[in-house]
Structure 1
Amino acid sequence: MLFVLNNYSQVNSSVQFSRVKQKCSLNSFILIHIHFFVILNRKLIFCTYFQWRLNESSLKNNYLFSLVYDNLG
């Protein structure tokens, strides 16, 4: 009986280790793909980011200009 329980616990820990290993390999796989996506699309990502920043500053400048213009008029 003790042998069966001991054997079961070894199998159980082996299964748990296998699940952890699979989960880690899946996480690595996802991280590698995200990394390659960023490398391959970095121009698009940076252009989009700078365009967004430009639009944001442009909106801010237009708002400030309209405040000054309204106060002058």
Structure 2
Amino acid sequence: MFLRDGIFWGMHLIWWAIWLVALGWIFFAPSNWPLREEEEENDALTVLKIRFAKGEITKEEYRNQKKVLELDA
């Protein structure tokens, strides 16, 4: 009844679109979400490098803080 009139095909196509979007999201979603601990540790080292580059800390302070960060990891 509905298949021959063409009314049903609109809903059928919508469901296929929903499934394709869902599968695309599952397979192509970023793999780094949520952040892992390793990335958070690297963030601390990155902040330390930026502070050193800006001249906020001395070379000796940079080395000491870098050793502390590496020992905690």
TM-score by length of 2: 0.41
Higher relative contact order (CA 8 A, sep 6+): 2
Q: Relative to total residues, which structure has the larger helix share, 1 or 2?
A: 1
TM-score by length of 1: 0.41
Greater C-alpha Rg: 1
